[in-house]
Amino acid sequence: KMGTVDTVGGGGFLPFESAKPKGIITAYTPEIAKDWPVERDGIQIRDKDWQWIGAEIFVLGFVYNTDLVKPEDLPKTWDDLLDPKWKGQIQMSNPAASGTATLTVLSQLMRLGEEQGWEYFNKLVDQVSALPDSGSAPAKAVAKGEAQIGIAFDFMAYEMKAKGEKVDFVVPETTPIIVNPVSLVADGPNPEGGKALIDYLLSKEGQQILANWYHIPISPEVESKTPLTLENVLPHAQKLDVQWVVDNYDRIRNEWRQRFQ
């Protein structure tokens, strides 16, 4: 058994922040990352106490069906999703079940404030045709033509595009850009193996594997297989109040259930 935990396709680093006070994960400073700052150009790339280290970048945005949506009609901002032309044409996953969708809700409540934020979701839910539980389901629905626009992480779209599906991805003007981290489990059965796996994931070879999955590597030495790189997505990054997220994660999920389920 490896002494590590790694999430793929979850809410990026936010669940790791929630795990910190619970004593589930423990600090490790990999040699390759020892000079990393906590933040790079406004996005947090490691925990200040080294309890997690970013291994790759996720961008929350819009996957669209290239047969059904003309380039000039594409939504460029989160507010553009409220345009009447998208009524019944959008899918997002269910925030009560999916980390991807929880991030969507938290980021819009931070952007607009809670009162206006919930008003935004009243309108958006009216636009969507389905709220599936899985974070990747909206992208799959778009590929099948069951929806024109889906709220998804970038890699979900690019992985399908590489397989020949008629989809592409839009990075909204301002949107969550988050790292997906790796971390050492506290009191795990094999801490040395865990540290070795973290070192490997951050090495050039490990970063290449993540890039081959159409994820944006955190290492500048490894080329992204998608049009997105850490450098070109950073100008789109929404400032996230991590402490607010940790303090309000469960409350916001419960409030979503009460309002929309």
Binned at pLDDT 50, 70 and 90, residue 64 comes out as very high
- Closest by CA to 53, choosing from 160, 171, 161, 206, is 206
* Three-state DSSP class for residue 37: coil
Binned at pLDDT 50, 70 and 90, residue 85 comes out as very high
Binned at pLDDT 50, 70 and 90, residue 11 comes out as low
Residue 16 is given by DSSP the state H
Average pLDDT over residues 194-213: 96
Residue 8 has pLDDT above 90, yes or no: no
pTM of the model: 0.91
Neighbours of 46 (CB within 10 A): 22
Q: What is the CA radius of gyration of the chain?
A: 18
Angle at 99 between CA 210 and CA 78, to 5 degrees: 95
Binned at pLDDT 50, 70 and 90, residue 4 comes out as very low
- Closest by CA to 104, choosing from 87, 128, 83, is 128
